[in-house]
Structure 1
Amino acid sequence: MSDPTIDSAPAVCFRHGLVLTMDDARTVLPDADVLVVGTDIAAVGPALQVPEGTVEVDASGGIVMPGMIDTHRHMWQTAMRGYGADWTLTQYFVWNYLEHGRKFRPQDIYAGNLLSAVEALDAGVTTSVDWSHNLHTVDHAEAATDALEEVPGRFVLAYGNIQAGPWEWSSTPEFRSFVERRMPRSEMLGFQMAFDVTGDPKFPEQAAFEVARDLGATVTTHAGVWGATNDDGIRLMYEHGFMTPGTVYVHAATLSDDSYQRIAATGGYASVAAESEASCGQGYPSSWALRRHGIPLSLSVDTSVWWSSDPFSAMRSTLNADRTREHHEAHATGETVTHIGVRAQDVVGWATRGGAAALGLSSLVGSLEPGKRADVVLLKNDASPAMFPILNPYGHVVFQAGRGDVHTVVVNGRVVKHEGVLLLDRHLARARDSVAETVTYLQETLGAEEWLAGMSPDIPESKVLDNPYTYTEYASDTTHTG
């Protein structure tokens, strides 16, 4: 059983682990220790001396690594886990944008966020961006934030509203009041603005970019999404001076070389969700194209309404898709790939320090170095035949380990999981009850027939193929080219 004092210990030391520091040199330390004192990493190395009262965790046979970072997760949808497993992207737009997304109440947003926050920690994701694009009232935003503040993880609220134009909701006094009251930009809760750019030549989104600039907030946007956003949106952002350092471009899967070059030149970051891109049609998973243009990458799981929510699936699907593209491109010209371009080490880097860089948190998290915050994950499972031998540690993280092998998770110095067991019983019980109430509410609101039909919704005769956004009449088939 878990040590009953570990979650309140003044110091914790991981002993005799294989340590992936993810520092600039990508130092790997066999049989080494990681000492956590208070909120920080105090030391990394062999045979560390520790202060009195330190709880020691046997990391032998395991991998100690930084907490993983997810830069794009629609946490509010987690209450609908697996519901849309067979959706296309168009069906997702129909269900959430055109039909049923507006039926979600504040308490439903809370339920999804609470469950998503807890399960992220369970899988070793210590920082998550809540790409919260169904905040159609400030009460919904309050509920989303309540859930994030309740769970002892590191989060970023990316405020969005798919039911109204970003130039509308961002200009209200209620939004400004919410940001001033609830978004302190603390180390544990950050803030972004989340909205898309349709490509309308009038560029109505300019008003929202101006609000973000006034608030000092970075923007995260779905870019290069087949049937929704493409090169026109990137061009408009660039021409109006809103492609600024730190902007996060989600998916970026169907863009021209010109758009990729603009992202690279202006200091943008990409958030790749390869499992999503491969399944629902944003475009071919984008890491291969992004790498060619020198755009820094981070990873995301996108949404549990379709897929797994763990970082191992994100890493594995990204590496597989990237390598598939590399082989495919070579075969098209009669060549054979003999030495692969992207390594397992690269993908682990995107899942850790890549996410930290994209969120402006590199000085705090993303690597195991003295002085940084103690966001630490131990992968160890002595009961699993898949967890030995560990020969290539990066390859083991990507291809062999899974969320069931997450032994211990520390966030900001606090142990939230130990010996494979979450130390969040109260949070998990509350999430279970809240999600059950949300599912019952949605089933009763939609009715049994519509609830079942929603798993494969019909496509109405509407503008959805040229523009899924309900708040604008602008439509153009240019989003179908790239």
Structure 2
Amino acid sequence: MTKTLIKCGWLVTMDPQLGDMKDAELLFEDGDITAIGQNLNATPDATIDGSEMIVMPGLVNAHIHSWQSQLRAMGSEWMTAQYMKNIHSGLALHYQAEDNYIGNLVEDLAQIDGGATTVMDWSHNIRDLEMAEQSIDGHEESGIRCVYGHGTVKPPTKPGDKPFSEIPHPRDRIEALRKGRLSSDDHRVTLAMAILGPDYSSWEIVTRDIAMAREFGLITSSHSAKPENSLNPGGYARLAREGLIGPDHNVVHGVYFTDDDVKAVIDCGASITSTCLTEIHHHWPGPAVNRVRKFGGMPSLGIDVVPVVASSMFREMQAALLYLRAQELRDAARDNGAQPDEMPVKSREALEWATIGGARALRMEDRIGSLKPGKKADIVMLRTTDSNIWPVHNPVFSIVEQAGDGNVDTVIIDGITRKKDGKSTYPEDLRRRKLADLSASSDRIMKSAGY
């Protein structure tokens, strides 16, 4: 057992009992945190000097389509219909298994670089088991903690074929993965099902998919849609009423949900993940974060689609916070004719959404999302000596309102250092080759699609 001691400048644990500490120490053995406190008198095998850093939990990106990293920033001015046409009815159909591998690997490295230690990869361009296998290869190689959400491709319907909304999730693939390399929920890469859900599939299909997921002990996640585009309007509330979803289900977006929809999902124990950058970009109702919190739920955050928005959880967290603050201030001025005396949305809340909120959405809150003995050593360290951070008066304010990806000095995942001294520990010459492979993959996909 290798013992590593971190000497912290500031330690932000996100644990309600431990709180924030100045000049604390954190000890971990291999992949698990064993002690936190002042002057631990430990005899470590290695010591990390974090005396000029903020030590915090790794960020949890609860929703991203990692396979799209080949298409980064190409759709920054797309609207939703253009995204669906260009990606799902176009480019996605031209991916091969090796494209998913390289896309996932490079996106994971970007996530680690920006302080995300866990991602929920919503992998919804999968046509066969080999594509799923190579997708997982990329995650395993990168070193990130990943919930791999196996999804399915959504091609335009050809004459005589069933639409994708009437095709059940492929049991053979789920069974192969669950009985094979992703049989354990304790490994760094685990399995989930990214299903169509009630808005994008028939009622028979959604209930069948959920039953299969529960048979294999898997969480499910599904996108919501505009009511006019839903195949089962009010479907999430119905699933909740019938006991078909609970803490094992995650809804993505929910921007068009009624208050009754939000309440039904929260009350049954399911989670709602917001991707605020894309939701502000594409959808006039805006993120559901405020309604989730008002109905007693814990919001979680994700990046969603890097063809449209930045691959940064710091930016996502800041966007969520600022959107909610603006929303609250506007509502107060409209309803009361004056602004509130106190800030209505606290900075610590936003950090919760990006850490423990994501962990809860993925049913991993017993392992990640905060720093305390018994949890995994998924740790991020921010340099406080960077000009945009110094001086630190309140470490949470510095993390949420001031920090960015460039301030991330060190990233530790499962006790293994994945970024050190501001640089990835993934070999630089190999990283460069992988970037070239990503460019070649992008060129091939776009040429094949005639884009």
TM-score (norm 1): 0.86
2:415 counterpart residue number: 413
* Matched-pair contact (CA < 8 Å) for 1:263–1:295: no
* Matched-pair contact (CA < 8 Å) for 2:384–2:392: no
Distance in structure 1 (CA, Å) of the matches to 2:228 and 2:449: 27
Q: Structure 1 residues 428, 353: CA separation in 2 closer, same or farther (over 3 Å shift)?
A: same
Q: State yes or no: 1:354 paired with 2:353.
A: no
Q: Structure 1 residues 80, 389: CA separation in 2 closer, same or farther (over 3 Å shift)?
A: same
Name whichever of 216-225 and 300-309 sits farther off: 216-225
SS of the aligned residue for 2:34 comes to strand
Output aligned runs, 1:94-133, within 5 Å: 94-133=85-124
SS of the aligned residue for 2:23 comes to strand
2:22 counterpart residue number: 30
Partner AA of 1:143 in structure 2 = Q
Output aligned runs, 1:459-474, within 5 Å: none
Q: Structure 1 residues 259, 85: CA separation in 2 closer, same or farther (over 3 Å shift)?
A: same
2:322 aligned to which of 313, 316, 320: 320
Output aligned runs, 1:5-404, within 5 Å: 10-25=2-17, 27-54=19-46, 56-163=47-154, 165=164, 168-184=167-183, 185-196=185-196, 197-198=198-199, 202-223=203-224, 225=226, 228-229=229-230, 231-281=233-283, 283-333=285-335, 334-380=337-383, 382=385, 384-404=386-406
Q: Count matched residues.
A: 438
Residue 68 of structure 1 and its aligned partner are, at CA, apart by: 1.0
* Matched-pair contact (CA < 8 Å) for 1:167–1:206: no
* Matched-pair contact (CA < 8 Å) for 2:167–2:205: no
Distance in structure 2 (CA, Å) of the matches to 1:179 and 1:167: 24
Distance in structure 2 (CA, Å) of the matches to 1:385 and 1:105: 44
CA-based RMSD of the aligned residues comes to 2.1
Instruction: String of CA shifts for 1:121-170, please: whole Å, max 9, x gaps.
Output: 11111111111011122221111111111121210101111327376352
Residue 100 of structure 1 and its aligned partner are, at CA, apart by: 2.5
- Runs of 5+ unmatched residues, structure 1: 1-8, 452-482
SS of the aligned residue for 2:409 comes to strand
Q: State yes or no: 1:423 paired with 2:425.
A: yes
Distance in structure 2 (CA, Å) of the matches to 1:109 and 1:423: 22
Name whichever of 247-256 and 165-174 sits farther off: 165-174
Residue 231 of structure 1 and its aligned partner are, at CA, apart by: 4.6
Distance in structure 1 (CA, Å) of the matches to 2:95 and 2:59: 29
Distance in structure 1 (CA, Å) of the matches to 2:366 and 2:41: 25
Instruction: String of CA shifts for 1:281-323, please: whole Å, max 9, x gaps.
Output: 2731111111111122111111211111121101100001111
Name whichever of 317-326 and 198-207 sits farther off: 198-207
Output aligned runs, 1:421-460, within 5 Å: 421-425=423-427, 428-447=431-450, 451=451
* Matched-pair contact (CA < 8 Å) for 2:166–2:201: no
Distance in structure 1 (CA, Å) of the matches to 2:246 and 2:347: 30
SS of the aligned residue for 2:56 comes to strand
Name whichever of 337-346 and 310-319 sits farther off: 337-346
Q: Structure 1 residues 98, 51: CA separation in 2 closer, same or farther (over 3 Å shift)?
A: same
* Matched-pair contact (CA < 8 Å) for 1:85–1:305: yes
Distance in structure 2 (CA, Å) of the matches to 1:141 and 1:378: 32
Residue 200 of structure 1 and its aligned partner are, at CA, apart by: 6.5
Distance in structure 2 (CA, Å) of the matches to 1:171 and 1:58: 49
Distance in structure 2 (CA, Å) of the matches to 1:73 and 1:145: 14
Instruction: String of CA shifts for 1:347-367, please: whole Å, max 9, x gaps.
Output: 111111111111111221111
Instruction: String of CA shifts for 1:44-70, please: whole Å, max 9, x gaps.
Output: 12233232532x222223210011111
SS of the aligned residue for 1:410 comes to strand
Q: Structure 1 residues 16, 114: CA separation in 2 closer, same or farther (over 3 Å shift)?
A: closer
Instruction: String of CA shifts for 1:199-233, please: whole Å, max 9, x gaps.
Output: 76744322211211211111111125576448522
* Matched-pair contact (CA < 8 Å) for 1:250–1:270: yes
Q: Structure 1 residues 25, 105: CA separation in 2 closer, same or farther (over 3 Å shift)?
A: same
SS of the aligned residue for 1:267 comes to coil
* Matched-pair contact (CA < 8 Å) for 1:251–1:282: no
Partner AA of 2:175 in structure 1 = R
- Runs of 5+ unmatched residues, structure 2: 155-162
Instruction: String of CA shifts for 1:18-46, please: whole Å, max 9, x gaps.
Output: 00011123611011121222111122122
Distance in structure 1 (CA, Å) of the matches to 2:201 and 2:405: 42
Distance in structure 1 (CA, Å) of the matches to 2:433 and 2:180: 25
The percent of aligned pairs where both chains have the same amino acid is 26
SS of the aligned residue for 1:59 comes to strand
